[in-house]
Chains A and B, each alone.
Chain A
Amino acid sequence: MSKHNWKIGVGLASMLLGMLLVFQFRTETNIKTYLPQFTTASELGIKWNRMQTDLNKKEEELKQLRQQLQEYNRDEEMKSLRMAAGVTPLRGPGVEITLTDVQRPLKSYEDPNLFIVHYDQLELLVNELWAAGAEAIAVNGVRLVVQTGFSCAGTTILVGTRKLAPPYVIRAIGDAATLKAALTIPGGFIDSQIRPFELGIKIEIKDSLYLPPYKGSSVFNYAEVVPEEPVETTVADGEGEAEAVDAVESWEGTGEGEVF
C-alpha cells in the first residue's frame, strides 16, 4: 500500500489542479466577455483618467446647478411674471391722463363725429406710453394686458371686453417726465391727435398711482406650451432682437411699480 501512497497524493493534487484550472479559466473567460475592449492596465488607466475628467466636469456642473438652485428664488420669479402678466395690483409713480370729448357746443356745420375720442386715438395714446417705457397701464380702471385690444362700439370704446365711456382716465406707471414728454413732444400725440379735434386732455404727474389687476379670464383652449423652436424673425436692422432683449431686461431691472 505504501508503494501507491504517492499515486494517491499526487493524483488528488492533480485533480484539484485540474478543477482549479477550470474554475480559473471560466472566470478569466467571463472577465474577457464582460470587458472585451479593455485588455491592458494602461488602457484601463487611460479610460479611468478620461472618466475622472468627465466626473470632475460633471461635479463642476452639479455645483453650478446647485448654486443656481440656491440663487433661484421662486417667489421672486413668480412675482415678476405676475407683474408682467398684469394679474397683480400695482402702485408706483407715473402719469394720469384724462381724455375728454370736446367741451364747447358744436356749430351746426361741424361733424360731431370728429370731436369725440375714438378708439384709435386711445390706442395711439397707449402705444405712445408703452413706447415711452410705461410699465403698466390701466384705462378707466381696466388693466391692459397682452390680450387687450381696442375697438369701436358705437358711442363707447371697447377695451378688451369692457365698454368704456368718456372721460377716459389713463393711468400709466413709469418715469413720469419721460411719459409726459413722449406725449407733448412737438408733432407728437397731442399735436396730431388732440389739438385738431379740440379734445380735452389733462396730464398729471402722480407720485403714487394705483393700478388694479386684470380681471378677465385667461383660458387657453387651443394653445399649449411647447419647447422653444427656432423661428425666423424678420427685423428691420440687425440690432432689433438685441434691443428687444435689452428692453425686457431693463423692464425687469427698473421695477418702479410695486406689488402690494
Chain B
Amino acid sequence: MLLIPLLGIALGAAIGLLLPWEVPLTYKSYTALAILATVDAIFGGMRAELEGNFIFSKFIVSFFANALLAVGLAFFGYSIGIDIYLGAVVAFSIRIFNNLSLIREFLIIRYRQRGSEQ
C-alpha cells in the first residue's frame, strides 16, 4: 500500500537528480504549492482506492484542476498584493490531514478484520 508512493518518490527523485533543472527564484512559491497539490493528490488517490471508488480520469482531472486553481490563486494574490496562496496552502493541508486520518482508519480497520479473521 505505502510502497507505491515511496517507490514513486524515489524514482522521481532519481530522475530529478539526473536532470539539470532547478526552479527559478520567482516561481519558488508556485512550486511549493504544486508540491502540496501532488501530496494532496497522492493521499486522495490512496484514500479513494481504499474506499474502492478510485477513477483514474477523475484523479488526473482533479489533480490538475486543484494545482492550477492553487497556482492561479497564488498568482492573483501576488498581483494584488495579498497572500492568497496561504489560503491554498491551508486548504491543501486540511485535505491532506483529512485524507491521512481516513487512510489510517481504513488501515486500522483492515488490520483488525484480518486479525479477527485469523
Contact B22 A8 (CB under 8 A): no
On chain B, the residues within 8 Å of A28 by CB distance are 28
Asked whether any CB of chain A lies closer than 8 Å to the CB of B35, the reply is yes
**What per-residue 1/0 map shows which CB atoms of B8-43 lie under 8 Å from chain A?**
111111111101011111001001101100110110
B87 CB–A CB distance under 8 Å:
no
Minimum CB–CB distance for A3 against chain B, Å: 9
- Collect the chain A residues with CB atoms within 8 Å of residue B16's CB: 18-23
Contacts of B12 in A (CB 8 A): 14-22
Q: A18 contacts B35, CB within 8 Å?
A: no
B45-53, B70-78, B89-97, B107-115: which lies at the interface: B45-53
Number of interface residues of B (CB under 8 A): 39
Q: Is the CB of B54 within 8 A of A9?
A: yes
Interface hits, B60-107 → A, CB 8 Å: 60, 63
- List the A side residues contacting B35 at CB < 8 Å: 17, 20-21, 24
Asked whether, in the complex, the Cβ of B34 is within 8 Å of the Cβ of A20, the reply is: yes
Residues of A in contact (CB 8 Å), total 25
Q: Is the CB of B11 within 8 A of A18?
A: yes
Q: For the complex, is A113 an interface residue (Cβ under 8 Å from B)?
A: no
- How far is A53 from B46 in the complex, measured between Cα atoms in Å? 55
Tell yes or no: A11 within 8 A of B by CB: yes
| Nearest A residue (CB) for B8 | A14
CA distance in complex: A17, B38 (Å): 6
Q: Does A31 contact B (CB under 8 A)?
A: yes
Number of A-B contacts defined by CB within 8 Å: 111
For the complex formed, measure the closest distance between the CB of B64 and the CB atoms of chain A, giving whole angstroms: 11
A9 B25 Cβ-Cβ under 8 A: no
Give the complex CA separation of A187 and B23 in angstroms: 94
Contact partners of A192 in chain B: CB under 8 A: none
A-B CB contact pairs (8 Å), 29 listed: A5-B56, A9-B45, A9-B54, A10-B4, A11-B8, A13-B42, A14-B4, A14-B5, A14-B6, A14-B7, A14-B8, A15-B9, A15-B11, A17-B9, A17-B12, A17-B38, A18-B9, A19-B15, A20-B12, A20-B16, A20-B34, A20-B35, A21-B9, A23-B21, A23-B23, A24-B31, A24-B32, A27-B22, A27-B25
A-side interface residues toward B, CB under 8 Å? 5-24, 26-28, 30-31
- Knowing that A10-B41, A23-B22 are A-B contacts, what are 11 other residue pairs whose CB atoms are under 8 Å apart, sorted by A's residue number? A5-B56, A6-B49, A8-B56, A10-B4, A16-B38, A17-B12, A19-B13, A20-B31, A21-B12, A21-B16, A24-B32
Q: Mark B residues whose CB is within 8 Å of A.
A: 4-17, 19, 21-25, 28, 31-32, 34-35, 38-39, 41-42, 45-46, 48-49, 54-56, 59-60, 63
